[in-house]
A and B are shown apart, each in its own frame.
Chain A
Amino acid sequence: MGLSELEDSLDARLLLFMEQLELLEEKRSTLNSLIEQGWFSMSKARYSMGNKQVSALQYASEIEPLVCVHARTLGSGDVEFCTERVAQSKESGKDVSSIEDIGPQEEGVRRRNKPKNVTPEKEANDEASSEKAPDVTPVRKSDQNPQQDPLKWFGILVPQSLKQAQSSFKQVIELSAEIAALQTTVLNTRQELKKSMKDKHFLRKETSAAQADEAAE
């Protein structure tokens, strides 16, 4: 590649780099605004629900992610990130044949071997209760479902501001994937520019050395 062609390609790459930086700055600004909006909504929810009602104390003991990101490395070295939201499992379908256990879950050891001197009335009651639901599978309370909407950690009826906060953060997550991809693109373009600069300087030195030789002859 000649010097002038290299310089043209360098100019084009530099313009592309500037455009990518400008786009990155715009997306960053949007991201920061959305995050601040989310915090503001959370603060409003905290004001109406109480300070400790919107805090780390409310996190569930088991959580499953509802959104994941797919990363794909392209041939040019750029990485593409795209988010995918997992469809939440609906509880109603599974619970048709099972009875929800409302009381506190007993964590202690259960007495399985009944003593021989149990009264007949008690035995009859036991048999009756076992006949009602022979295949009962105790189901965890709905708030223990790891795939539930995180809004439910904070109560059954949550204020609109908390839903707005969730919506803001969902948008932030989508935008984060775009920014992550753009960051890798910016860094790759920078590397290419650096390499092209070195090539240009090398070519220039060669060209000026050749010109000096010609002048000497």
Chain B
Amino acid sequence: MAGRGKLIAVIGDEDTCTGFLLGGIGELNKNRKPNFLVVEKDTSITEIEETFKSFLARNDIGIILINQFIAEMIRHAIDGHMQSIPAVLEIPSKEHPYDASKDSILRRAKGMYSADDFR
């Protein structure tokens, strides 16, 4: 469908998902899988990783928002994602503030310089 925008997906704790769904990004119907995952204490890492990979495989998702503490659980999967679309944004959670040193994007941007580069 030409001109139809892409969705914004979210993988986060209950408050994060509730907030973004309030913002209007949610999609939930019997025909398609939802574009959000509420991660609870008993949610397995396998489920999180499978959901993340399913979001990457969908061609109708433009941005994936994920709490950073959840991103840490599936860091290998996030670091392996090199494409521009969908873009992956790590966001803080209530109990885990944002740490720039853990962000995949910033680590890729930071890790390029050595002493030889400035000669």
Contacts and interface: CB of A to CB of B under 8 A. Distances in A.
Contact of A81 (B16, B63, B92, B98): B63
A73 B83 CA distance: 12
A36 B24 contact: no
Contact of B26 (A59, A179, A197): A59
B17 interface: yes
B76 to A, nearest CB: 19
A169 B89 contact: no
Interface of A: 21, 24-25, 28, 31-32, 35-36, 38-39, 42, 54-56, 59-71, 73, 77, 79, 81, 84-85, 146, 150-151, 162, 165-166, 168-170, 172-173, 176-177, 179-181, 183-184, 186-187, 190, 193-194, 197
5 contacts: A32-B91, A64-B27, A70-B62, A81-B62, A183-B105
Contacts, number: 143
Contacts of A65: 7-8, 24-27, 35
Contact of A150 (B16, B24, B63, B105): B24
Interface residues of B, number: 44
B19 A67 contact: no
Interface of B is mostly: mixed
A180 B87 contact: yes
Give the one of A77, A81, A146 with max B CB within 10 A: A81
Contacts of A168: 19
Contacts of A68: 4-8, 62
A26 to B, nearest CB: 12
B13 to A, nearest CB: 10
B108 A176 contact: no
A38 B108 CA distance: 30
B87 A184 contact: yes
B29 A176 contact: no
Contacts of B6: 68-71
Given A28-B100, A176-B63, A177-B63, A79 B87 contact: yes
Nearest to A177: B63
A142 to B, nearest CB: 17
Given A55-B14, A55-B18, A67 B105 contact: no
Contacts of A67: 8, 23-25
Given A56-B14, A81-B62, A150-B21, A73 B84 contact: yes
A62 B66 CA distance: 22
Contact of A187 (B17, B100, B109): B109
Nearest to A201: B116
A162 B62 CA distance: 27
